[in-house]
Structure 1
Amino acid sequence: MDLFSRSWTALRTTVADIPDEDFEQPSGCGGWLVRDLVCHLLIGAQDVLITLVTPADAEPTVDAVTYWQLVEPPTGEDPLDALIPRLAAAYGEPRWLRHHFDDVGSAAGRAAELADPARRVSTRDQVLTVADYLSAYVVEWTLHHLDLIAHLPAAAQPPAETLASARASLERIAGSSFPASFSDKDALLIGTGRRTPTDAEKAALGDLAAKLPLVLG
């Protein structure tokens, strides 16, 4: 629960500090500008709010790790992926998108803090505890924080503890550990295909290299 708040607060703070002109910079998500990614994050915050008020009586079917499914890399043909840039552009000035993101994002953060960790909720036809759901989102927020600042060298990095947590989750998803020589950030970027490993890094990965990239959906 605490790591969710830290990762989400850090991400929201970074969005608030991005200069207007940098909303037109590319993000780490292929084909999306920074403004498009912020719009995607806004939808993610809405999903958190919806899930936290969707209680379930059934036994959990997934946990923080099995919540994630490995999928094929995006092709750009997903209708929602195509819709995001149009929605982001419709805001016009960055301040309106920033304001809406902060408004909904603040509400999602408060809802997470008030939620009972043991309560079961339903999302994507799955049932899991609030604690597991919010833990899963630490991976989402941390990866997208890296995407957000991919071409913004002056922007703040994700907190060290959330990078470490996201790496540990990705290793559990992969069923293998990344080399100890990899920083948490590099493990996440290389592990999810956001950065191509060098020859030395590929050699250090060993058999794990054949499993990459791990695309989460």
Structure 2
Amino acid sequence: MDLFAYSWAALRAAVADLPDEDFARPSGCTGWLVRDLVFHLVIDAQDVLITLVTPTEAPPTRDAATYWDVSASPPAGDGPFDALTVRLAAAYEEPRLLRYHLDDLGSAAGRAAGLADPDLRVETQGEVLTVRDYLDAYVLEWTLHHLDLIAHLPDVPGPPPESSTYARRLLERIAGAPFPGSLTDEAALRVGTGRRAPTEAESSVLDTMTTRLPLVLS
């Protein structure tokens, strides 16, 4: 629960400090500029708010690891949702408007998460999770998108180490195997989710695990 707030606050702070010109730079998401990624975060915040006010008495059907649908095909960035995101992000015209909307909805999502009962069951996308598992899953979401944000912005601070370590462990649960200890958390997350190809040295230590990668999460 604490890591959700910590990782989300760090990501929003990184966006808040971006100069206007950085919103037009590429992000780590195929086909998306930074502004498109930031708009996606607005939608994520909205989803968190909606889910936290959708309680259910039904038993959990997923946890923080099984929350994710996994495929081996990286997104091409040309799907209908991707195109809609690009159009809506462009409609803001000025980065300050996008910053404001993320701060407004993002702050509300953070407050709602802090007030939620971690054992409460909530429904999202036809599945049921405890609030604790739902927010834990979002630590991985925030951490990966923080890495996407800084993919071409080397001077922007990255995700907190605690968030990266937790996100790595959760990705290892999804993979069903640990990443080699010689890989940094960032490398494990980027390579493991197909955000970049492994280097020759990384492929060597990954060995047979490469057959399970990438883990494309949605």
Name the TM tier (shorter chain): over 0.9
**Whole-Å separation in 1 of the counterparts to 2:110 and 2:66:** 23
Partner residue, 1:87: 88
Partner residue, 2:148: 147
Whether 2:117 is the aligned partner of 1:116: answer yes
Q: Answer yes or no: is the 8 Å Cα contact 2:30–2:75 preserved in 1.
A: no
**Whole-Å separation in 2 of the counterparts to 1:150 and 1:73:** 16
SS at match of 1:27: coil
Partner residue, 1:75: 76
**Letter in structure 2 aligned against 1:179:** P
Shift of 1:107: 0.3
SS at match of 1:127: strand
Q: Deviations over 1:24-69 (max 9, x none)?
A: 0000001100000000000000000000000011000011111111
**Whole-Å separation in 1 of the counterparts to 2:155 and 2:74:** 29
**Letter in structure 1 aligned against 2:44:** G
Partner residue, 1:214: 215
Partner residue, 1:159: 160
SS at match of 1:137: helix
SS at match of 2:129: strand
**Letter in structure 2 aligned against 1:40:** H
Write the mapping of 1:137-216 to structure 2, written as runs, cut at 5 A: 137-216=138-217
**Letter in structure 1 aligned against 2:24:** E
**Whole-Å separation in 1 of the counterparts to 2:138 and 2:59:** 20
Partner residue, 2:50: 50
Partner residue, 1:22: 22
Q: Deviations over 1:175-208 (max 9, x none)?
A: 0111100000000011011111111110110111
Structure 1 residue ranges without an equivalent (≥5)? none
**Letter in structure 1 aligned against 2:62:** V
Q: Answer yes or no: is the 8 Å Cα contact 2:31–2:76 preserved in 1.
A: no
**Letter in structure 1 aligned against 2:181:** A
Structure 2 residue ranges without an equivalent (≥5)? none
**Whole-Å separation in 1 of the counterparts to 2:32 and 2:59:** 38
Write the mapping of 1:29-40 to structure 2, written as runs, cut at 5 A: 29-40=29-40
Which moves more between the two structures, 71-80 or 120-129?
Answer: 71-80
Aligned Cα root-mean-square deviation (Å):
0.7
**Letter in structure 1 aligned against 2:30:** G
**Whole-Å separation in 2 of the counterparts to 1:192 and 1:68:** 12
**Whole-Å separation in 2 of the counterparts to 1:19 and 1:104:** 20
**Letter in structure 1 aligned against 2:65:** V
**Whole-Å separation in 1 of the counterparts to 2:200 and 2:99:** 40
Whether 2:6 is the aligned partner of 1:3: answer no
**Letter in structure 2 aligned against 1:89:** A
**Whole-Å separation in 1 of the counterparts to 2:101 and 2:199:** 40
**Whole-Å separation in 1 of the counterparts to 2:198 and 2:108:** 38
Partner residue, 1:135: 136
**Whole-Å separation in 2 of the counterparts to 1:22 and 1:73:** 25
**Whole-Å separation in 2 of the counterparts to 1:99 and 1:143:** 22
**Whole-Å separation in 2 of the counterparts to 1:142 and 1:149:** 11
TM superposition score normalised by structure 1 = 0.98
Shift of 1:75: 2.9
**Letter in structure 2 aligned against 1:73:** P
**Whole-Å separation in 2 of the counterparts to 1:178 and 1:24:** 34
Change (3 A) 1:106 1:117: same
What is the number of residues matched between the two proteins? Answer: 217
Partner residue, 2:97: 96
Displacement over 4 Å in runs of 4+: none
